Amino acid sequence: MTIAVEKVLYTAKATAQGGRDGKVASNDGKLDVVVAPPVEMGGDGKGTNPEQLFAAGYAACFHSALTVIARRSRQDAEGSTVTAEVGIGPINGGAGYGLEVVLEVSLPGTDRGAAEELVARAHEVCPYSNATRGNLKVDLRVV
């Protein structure tokens, strides 16, 4: 099922040169990074990589969704963190590559049951979760 945005509020734009071994920059100049394959994938690891950029974006977006849901539920999200782990590996017998994600969420001021409920609800509203749902494995962990 394709999700249609009712009204675009903001559009990010970035241009890559050199693929996984080059650079990526946003049109406004706020992001300008060297990208390089990680050592584990045969690269020199001297730059960031698309998986790190995706992990950073997903963690930030999910944390924002979590704090909104917590505030609406009158729950304490003070000191909370979200860590995203993005793994890449072969799929379809090596015919291509895919991603999988682990989101580790810490909500130190909230009991485990309430924290798990908040995380599940955040997963329903987070734009990254909505974009990836049904396309890759996302493991939610309350730590």
Q: Tell which CATH classification among 3.40.50.300, 3.40.1210.10, 3.90.650.10, 3.30.300.20 matches the domain 49-142.
A: 3.30.300.20
Q: What's the pLDDT score for residue 1?
A: 73
For the record, the structure tokens of 6 come out as 């009712």
| Average pLDDT, rounded, for the chain | 96
Return d(Cα 126, Cα 124) in angstroms, integer: 6
Question: 1-48, what's its fold?
Answer: N-terminal domain of TfIIb (2.20.25)
Q: Where are the beta strands (DSSP E) in 18-132?
A: 22-26, 32-35, 81-91, 96-106
Average pLDDT over residues 88-98: 93
Domain parsing of the chain, residue ranges? 1-48, 49-142
pTM of the model: 0.95
At 50-82, the pLDDT tens digits run 999 999 999 999 999 999 999 999 999 999 999
Q: What's the pLDDT score for residue 124?
A: 97
> What are the distances in angstroms from CA 23 to CA 3, 27, 50, 55, 76?
30, 13, 10, 18, 40
CA distance between the termini of the chain:
32
